[in-house]
Amino acid sequence: MAEGTGSHRAGLGALLRDKAPFLRWSTIRFALGGRTVLRTGQVGDGREEAVRRHVLNTATAGDPDSVLAAIDDFARTRSILMNVGDEKGLLLDAAVRRANPLLALELGAYCGYSAVRTGRLLPPRGRLVSVESSIANAAIATEVIAHAGLSDRVVVVAGKIGDGGVTMRRLAVDHGFAAGAVDFVFLDHLKTAYLPDLLTLLTVNWLRPGAIVVADNVRIPGAPRYLRYMRAHEGTTWRTVEHRTHVEYQSLLHDLVLESEYLG
């Protein structure tokens, strides 16, 4: 009987993780901390610092795939995280391989997961600059990236595109961003900033024709203005593939990832 009860509990735990993660306390805590997330970039229960420790304690130094596996394990078994995750991460991987970028830009580093995914696939001489609005998250992401052995090609900049030009100047002066220089962009920050930040990049002509822009969470929590913009400009300025997938670390809630090629 005890063995059967244990199996039942294990099965229920797997169901909560994979089918109904919104019933997990870490997800409920995330929802309750929505205002904190918007203000600080963190949930407010220490999970970001906890995942940093988890990576340093369990992942093999210098092995990006080991770092990714450690973060995925943490998100599935301990606390939900605001990163692209393993399922949608495969879409990101494929887009990076197609772009083969010498200069890539990420908006929204969080704890460094997608920066590690992208950085490990860069070609020789390729570089990724990840812009993160939270100073605390930027520090965590930098340490995670270093543990993955990618500090020579991935750098995190604390700031945001919509800060009156401060971060844009840093990108231009310190990191070589210029007209036609950007081959790849990953959007995974504040969803209402997707479209204005992309339009800012277009205004300064940083994207080369053929550059690829990937946007996560277009359905949940949603970036409706960005989606309408891409659909309205399909075949003229952009050519977009809409990938129907799932919200990270579960298989019940559906999400949308947009992969858009800039036509110039």
Which residues have a catalytic role annotated?
Answer: 188, 191, 216-217, 248
At 24, which amino acid appears? R
Nearest-angstrom CA–CA distance, 151 and 142: 8
Radius of gyration of the chain (CA): 18
Buried b (16+ CB within 10 A) or exposed e, 72-108: bebbbeebbbbbbbbbbbebbeebbeebebbbbbbbb
Q: Which residue has the tokens 């822009």?
A: 213
Asked, as a colleague might, if the bond just before 123 is cis with ω within 30 of 0, I would say no
Nearest-angstrom CA–CA distance, 98 and 212: 8
Cα 61 to Cα 55, 67, 73, 183: the distances in Å are 9, 8, 17, 29
